[in-house]
Amino acid sequence: MGMTSNGEADASLNAGKQSVNGRGESIDVSYSKAMAGSNSFDMTFNKPLLGWQRYENVGFSVGNPFQHLTWNSADLSETFATFYYNRRFFNNKLGYNVQMNASWRKFIPTEDSPFPIRDQAGHTMKLSFEESYTIDSRDRPILASKGILAKYCHEYAGILGDAVFFKNQLDLQASAPFIFGSTLSASIKGLHINSFGNSKLHLLDSAYLGGPYDVRGFEMKSIGTRADHACLGGATAVAATFHLYRPLIPADSLFLHAFMSCGSVARVGSKTRIQDLLDVPRVSTGIGIAFLFRNAVRLEFNYVLPIRYVPGDAFKTGFQFGAGINFL
């Protein structure tokens, strides 16, 4: 049992084989099905490049997921392939990744989808080149108690296919010990997307915020321009979250958790993106429990109070649950 990146509870079957050819290669195959109906079949092949203190690997992934995009009031059927190369430097403190992504996507509106959603229905193809650079001195990748993370990623789509854009994303995180054994942590994320020529930025490639993984208290990916009950996302997004953790028992995995999060999304086509971000920031605060399961998955159960929002936002005062790896 687990949870998808879209916040759906799911069950999965996994199979794999290590050292396929006797040199550390691995093949992993998985099938997952969410309670809401989403499902995914994925296969990954990974090969380390062996050598003295050589932290490199190459591989590829293929998959055929079907997802319910509740924020768009639509479904997505996709067939994708990704080829990648990873390398770590300086005692694993610096990282580099490059990959080629190819995907054939079918965007499927539901019966009650508004017109701006239906307008982008149908098939699209994306072929993109992506690079990322990472500095990571944290003591652990999830719920760190000290250290910093700085990651910059850019993606260019438009080599072939309908998707034509250039995306830049910057993620920053810092954690440090505080009084009475507690930990202070701050995370910031910025995302900017530019489409080229006469191409229109597709909803599948837009920027979204909201949900238990970034701006808590709001529905999943619901912040930004809206059409009836659906979210259209935006072209620029900024979010930040400030945390205070106090260890409970066991001290290395269970924490009392207080936070304040904020974020804003600028619409596609805006000529005043910075002003848009400053005009309508969403802010929430809350308290809850954070649990680190086997140093692999983070679970949060919070009572959340949205304190700044705009009419039409999808938000709720009350309890919110999240499970996954990437939290702001």
Task: Give yes or no for residue 127 having a pLDDT over 80.
Answer: yes
What average pLDDT does range 263-291 have in this prediction? 91
| Region class of 60: left (phi > 0), else alpha (psi between -120 and 50), else beta | beta
pLDDT per position as a tens digit, 55-65: 899 999 999 99
Lowest mean pLDDT among 99-103, 164-168, 197-201, 299-303: 197-201
Bridge partners (DSSP) of residue 106 are 77, 123
Residue that has been written with the tokens 């001290």 in this structure:
251
The pLDDT value recorded for residue 59 is: 96
Region 42-71 average pLDDT:
90
Q: Cα separation of 29 and 12, whole Å?
A: 10
Q: Are the beta carbons of 174 and 321 closer than 8 angstroms? A: no
The per-residue pLDDT for 35 is 78
Phi, psi of 115 (to 5 degrees): -60, -45
Residue range 291-297: average pLDDT? 88
Closest CA to 183 of 139, 217, 240, 238: 139
* Rounded-to-integer distance, Cα 265 and Cα 269, Å: 12
- pLDDT level of residue 136 (50, 70, 90 thresholds): very high
Residue environment code for 135-159, b if the CB has 16+ CB neighbours within 10 A, otherwise e: ebebeeebbbbebebebebebebbe
* Mean pLDDT score, 120-129: 95
For 34, 73, 261, 303, the CA distances from 80, given in Å and listed in that order, are 19, 22, 33, 37
CA angle 8, 13, 126 (to 5 degrees): 60
Q: Residue 224: which pLDDT band, with cuts at 50, 70 and 90?
A: confident
Q: What is the mean pLDDT of residues 7-25?
A: 78
**How confident is the model over 299-322, as pLDDT tens digits?**
999 999 999 998 888 998 999 999
Please give the pLDDT value at position 6.
62
What pLDDT band is residue 258 in, cutting at 50, 70 and 90?
very high
Share of the chain above pLDDT 90, in %: 70
Q: Residues near 83 by Cβ (< 8 Å), separated by ≥ 6? A: 58, 59, 60, 99, 100
Domains and CATH numbers, the chain: 2-324 (2.40.160.50)
What mean pLDDT is predicted for residues 76-102? Answer: 94
Q: Encode the chain in three state secondary structure.
A: CEECCCCCEEEEEEEEEECCCCCCCEEEEEEEEECCCCEEEEEEEEEECCCCCCEEEEEEEEECCEEEECCCCEEEEEEEEEEEEEEEECCCCEEEEEEEEEEEEEEEECCCCCHHHHCCCEEEEEEEEEEEEEEECCCCCCCCCCEEEEEEEEEEEEEEECCCEEEEEEEEEEEEECHHHCEEEEEEEEEEEEECCCCCCCHHHCECECCCCCCCCECCCCECEEECCEEEEECEEEEEEEEEEEECCCCCCEEEEEEEEEEEEECCCCCCHHHHHHHCCEEEEEEEEEEEECCCEEEEEEEEEEEECCCCCCECCEEEEEEECCCC
* pLDDT number for residue 20: 75
- Mean of all residue pLDDT scores within the chain: 91
